[in-house]
Chains A and B, each alone.
Chain A
């Protein structure tokens, strides 16, 4: 690999480091796999190579830093040793990937026995043992949010990932913690977490993303959540890649009858991080709660694109994305609610709130609605506000320094989202993780 080049001279080759010979050597490293899997990867690679990089004029990339997108100077990450501890929350099981590979002994059980039939394994193993499940759920949903090229890249180069299956009626009593680590300069990683919750099952998954070092890396990950009738999934995505990393993450959530999915994505890391989230409410009683918290500072850019599709009557979605922006940071929120003609009695909510902690930060909001049914309740809105000077003065008048006052007020702003979590342990762990972004004041 050549030495990293400064951003100003980035190449914008549509395939960059992911040339055909690199793909061929990746395929050779896959080992024994079903023919359909290899075929999917080949087709994905072709699609990736054929599609152009996003352009400034693409509506789904409006406001994004197109010039910052580059596929150059990366290399498929080589095996490396784990260097980070998993997310500190009591868990039922954990699985850790370093540079796309499940680490030796990384598949650990927590303090409890897993209920019978629950599967927590790698995609590699699932290909051998549960090919049909994988075939029908892996990256099976449409890419509607603009990153078709990068999603294809993900499928093409995916080496391994987490496969979680919870059988009918089974409840996993504590979270399952998945850790994805990128290590080394230029490392390209393709994290994947697939969660299949069968009828009336219940599971909570914490998916974390971190860099072992502060070098420029490339992350192109996906998570697929499938909640069958009456199932309940809680998904936490906690992204803390290095400050030099370019990151893409694609979420697809399918919610069936009376099922409920709550997802909360925390965005902290990356130079430029894009997150796309698609919720499909496919049968009556389905509910998707989509939450996100972002702390953006320095020159970070966080680009969040969401789509809530109501495909059946009596479905509900509730999106609340909150960003705190400092320094020269930039955020983009573009959200769309689509209500299909038959989806009467839809109840959809979408809200993006930005807390501007700096005059130089930039928050862009593009909320949208596309309603084809006539008996629905849809609300959307976006706000940007500054720290309330009276609240800040009140805290300062108690001796609290300005930086600390602003930190407390930022946590106050986030609390509305964190309070949606039923688990106090998850709430506390996420707070601690957010705290790492604030280094100026003393810890509370």
Chain B
């Protein structure tokens, strides 16, 4: 049983404070959704937990199984069990999916331990089949020339291969048509289980029809302003975000 704990987190990028005292605890097996209007700090939250060097934590902490990850480089956080599914995955010309995934898997092995290529490819192909990704993709450069749907499926493929303790999924539904969304959601649902905690970041309720969350949080102005179960998402869908903004303005005059 693992836990990811975000404690009173404040984050700035450049001079600007984006996350302003956010707290949240996720245990393995749980799916939390964070919803909120654009520009409210949702993606910043995902990036800072993953360890992007441009984002600075000014106070607060992020604890994985009780241990702060803030002093760790992004790669160490990933090896400790965090995974970020990017909203805009980087295109990396000349680096094949196969070599990239292999390096990521190898990075998790002890020094001197050799990767067994046969079982690696067997596992990779099984996950690709699950996500309906053509096996020819292994020879293609990472995300280069991929459609929006292909990029997102490739993110889920990496998540499936790397088996994180916690996955941060940043707007995984953006840019997907309904078929692609369904495939991605099926992939995530297949990975759901007692060993995985998920933080789903989304602007729209649509994704939550396919990946049913255990908890829904509303993020606004850099913090969580409301929490509930999946019915909160439906309420937001029906009423929009304006009432949240009004409530926030009344509480913070």
Contacts and interface: CB of A to CB of B under 8 A. Distances in A.
Which one of A391, A408, A414, A441 has the highest number of Cβ atoms from chain B below 10 Å of its Cβ? A408
Given A397-B84, A398-B158, A412 B92 contact: yes
B95 A398 contact: no
B53 A399 contact: no
B50 interface: yes
Contacts of A414: 94
A415 interface: yes
Interface in A415-434: 415-416
Interface residues of B, number: 31
A425 B89 CA distance: 32
Contacts of A442: 103, 106-107, 111
B189 interface: no
Contact of A402 (B73, B86, B99): B73
A399 to B, nearest CB: 4
Nearest to B158: A398
A444 B103 contact: yes
Given A398-B162, A416-B93, A408 B52 contact: no
A411 B158 CA distance: 21
A444 B99 contact: yes
Interface in B93-112: 93-95, 99-100, 102-104, 106-108, 111
B108 A396 contact: no
A399 B94 contact: no
A350 B184 CA distance: 44
Interface stretch (B74-82, B206-214, B227-235): B74-82
B93 A415 contact: yes
B252 interface: no
Contacts of B86: 394, 397
Main secondary structure of the interface of A (DSSP, over half): helix
Contacts, number: 89
Contact of B75 (A399, A408, A409, A411): A399
B8 interface: no
Interface string B55-75: 000000000000000000111
A349 interface: no
Nearest to A413: B94
A438 interface: no
A404 B107 contact: yes
B103 A396 contact: no
B102 A402 contact: no
Contacts of B162: 398-399
A400 B83 CA distance: 12
Given A401-B107, A444-B99, A394 B93 contact: no
B51 interface: yes
Given A409-B95, A411-B94, A411-B95, A399 B107 contact: yes
A390 interface: yes
Contact of B94 (A388, A390, A415): A415
Nearest to A399: B78
A352 to B, nearest CB: 17
Given A408-B103, A444-B103, A444-B106, A395 B79 contact: no
Contacts of B108: 399
A417 to B, nearest CB: 10
B90 A398 contact: no
Q: Counting chain B CB atoms within 10 Å of each CB, which of A391, A399, A413 scores highest?
A: A399
Contacts of B40: none
Given A399-B162, A416-B93, A393 B104 contact: no
Contacts of A413: 94
Nearest to B99: A444
A399 B103 CA distance: 9
B138 interface: no
Contacts of A402: 73, 75
A389 interface: yes
A397 B106 contact: no
B86 to A, nearest CB: 7
B141 interface: yes
Contacts of B104: 395, 398-400
Most chain A CB within a 10 A radius of its CB, from B53, B94, B141: B94
Contact of A396 (B73, B94, B102): B73
A264 to B, nearest CB: 16
A295 to B, nearest CB: 15
B92 A397 contact: no
A79 B104 CA distance: 48
Contacts of A411: 94-95, 99
Given A394-B89, A398-B100, A389 B53 contact: yes
A393 B107 contact: no
B90 A391 contact: yes
B100 A393 contact: no
A391 B107 contact: no
B16 to A, nearest CB: 19
Nearest to B141: A412
Interface string A122-157: 000000000000000000000000000000000000
B93 A393 contact: no
Contact of B53 (A388, A393, A408): A393
A394 B103 contact: no
A393 B52 contact: yes
Contact of A397 (B78, B93, B95, B103): B78
B102 A400 contact: no
Nearest to A404: B103
A394 B93 CA distance: 13
Given A389-B53, A397-B50, A400-B104, A409 B92 contact: yes
Interface of A: 388-391, 393-402, 404-405, 408-409, 411-416, 441-442, 444
12 contacts: A388-B90, A393-B74, A394-B89, A395-B100, A397-B83, A398-B78, A399-B108, A400-B75, A404-B103, A409-B95, A411-B99, A444-B99
Given A395-B103, A415-B93, 5 more contacts: A394-B92, A396-B75, A398-B104, A442-B111, A444-B99
Interface of B: 50-53, 73-75, 77-79, 83-84, 86, 89-90, 92-95, 99-100, 102-104, 106-108, 111, 141, 158, 162
